[in-house]
Amino acid sequence: MEKAYKLLAQQKEISNKKAKELIDRGLVYVLDRKVKIARAELPEDTYFRVEMPSDIVILYQDDDLIAVNKPAQIDSYEIQDAFEGAELLHRLDRETSGVLLLGRNPEFIRRAVEAFRQRKVTKEYVAWVEGVIYEPIEIDLPIHTIKKSKAFSKIDPKLGKPAHTLVRPNEVQGKKSKVDITIDTGRTHQIRVHLAHVGHPVVGDEQYGSRTSAKRILLHAASITLLGQTYTAPEPKDIQRYK
């Protein structure tokens, strides 16, 4: 038996540091199971598979803004670092794919930030969730976020900030539902927390109660409308159809 990151480093001929980073980013698998703990003890004949994220695709750009299709398993700040002089206007969770916007000049960034603050930005998502949803669901419950080593959010009427989520059924496949989601607030893990609260956690979201293993949380930011313009990202294959 040996620690997972050391076995991976030997197998892929990379440094221990790089191997640990790949595991921590959720990119390493044994068969169809994600390796979650870099220091986990595994048999020395374990075969690892590394699945690197897709390339970052620019959806639109001008002097004010860059809109990209963020692949799953890439941190939003990694994308900011890839575009010199650009600044994130909002963020997506590491495992969430889809439209991510960056500002390019101070005046536009100021106007964009104000639009977010006034809840004048509309964000559309698509997700696969646990259970069957036949009717629209409107969730208007305050969310409080605890930020320690890993952010965790929960419904909290006293400490929470306003959060509004509208869920509309799209497709049902077995005991899973594909849903379209609209939000005009952007609380940390808002969609994930709201859906879990009504008994329909996002598939693969073990942090908030999903019992279905998946390569990532099946949530995609399909479009965002900011200052009168809409930016859209096509659905990746794992969102287009479940399994």
The CATH number given to whatever domain includes residue 225 is 3.30.2350.10
- pLDDT of residue 241 exceeding 90, the answer is no
Question: How much is the pLDDT for 182?
Answer: 97
Question: How much is the pLDDT for 243?
Answer: 72
List pLDDT tens digits, range 23-78. 988 888 888 788 989 999 999 999 998 887 778 899 999 999 999 999 998 999 98
Question: How much is the pLDDT for 150?
Answer: 81
Question: How much is the pLDDT for 59?
Answer: 97
> Are 11 and 121 members of one domain?
no
- pLDDT of residue 209 exceeding 90, the answer is yes
Q: Is residue 62 packed enough to be buried (19+ CB in 10 Å), middle (13-18) or exposed (0-12)?
A: exposed
> Are 173 and 143 members of one domain?
yes
- Examine the residue annotation and report whether 93 is marked as an active-site residue of this protein: yes
Find where tokens 């059924």 sit: 169
List pLDDT tens digits, range 76-116. 998 999 898 999 999 999 999 999 999 999 999 999 999 99
Question: How much is the pLDDT for 51?
Answer: 82
Whether 233 and 241 have beta carbons less than 8 Å apart is answered as no
Question: How much is the pLDDT for 52?
Answer: 76
Whether 133 and 177 have beta carbons less than 8 Å apart is answered as yes
Question: How much is the pLDDT for 25?
Answer: 83
> Are 122 and 93 members of one domain?
yes
Catalytic residue among 64, 75, 93, 140: 93
Alpha helices in the chain, H assignment, sequence order: 4-12, 16-24, 76-82, 106-117, 190-197, 237-240
Across the range 126-137, mean pLDDT stands at: 97
Across the range 109-132, mean pLDDT stands at: 96
Find where tokens 């409080």 sit: 144
> Are 70 and 94 members of one domain?
yes
Query: In the beta sheet, which residues pair with residue 220?
Result: 97, 126
Question: How much is the pLDDT for 165?
Answer: 97
> Are 139 and 178 members of one domain?
yes
> Are 103 and 196 members of one domain?
yes
Question: Which structural domain, as residue segments, surrounds residue 159?
Answer: 57-240
Question: How much is the pLDDT for 88?
Answer: 97
> Are 179 and 233 members of one domain?
yes
Our count of domains for the chain comes to 2
Question: How much is the pLDDT for 26?
Answer: 83
Q: Which of 167, 141, 135 is nearest to 155 (CA)?
A: 141
- pLDDT of residue 242 exceeding 90, the answer is no
Token reading at 131? 């259970």
Rounded distance, CA 88 to CA 86, Å? 7
Question: How much is the pLDDT for 213?
Answer: 86
Rounded distance, CA 155 to CA 4, Å? 36
More confident residue, 158 or 147: 158
> Are 93 and 44 members of one domain?
no
Rounded to the nearest angstrom, the gap between the alpha carbon of residue 237 and the centroid of all alpha carbons in its chain is 15
Rounded to the nearest angstrom, the gap between the alpha carbon of residue 184 and the centroid of all alpha carbons in its chain is 17
> Are 104 and 176 members of one domain?
yes
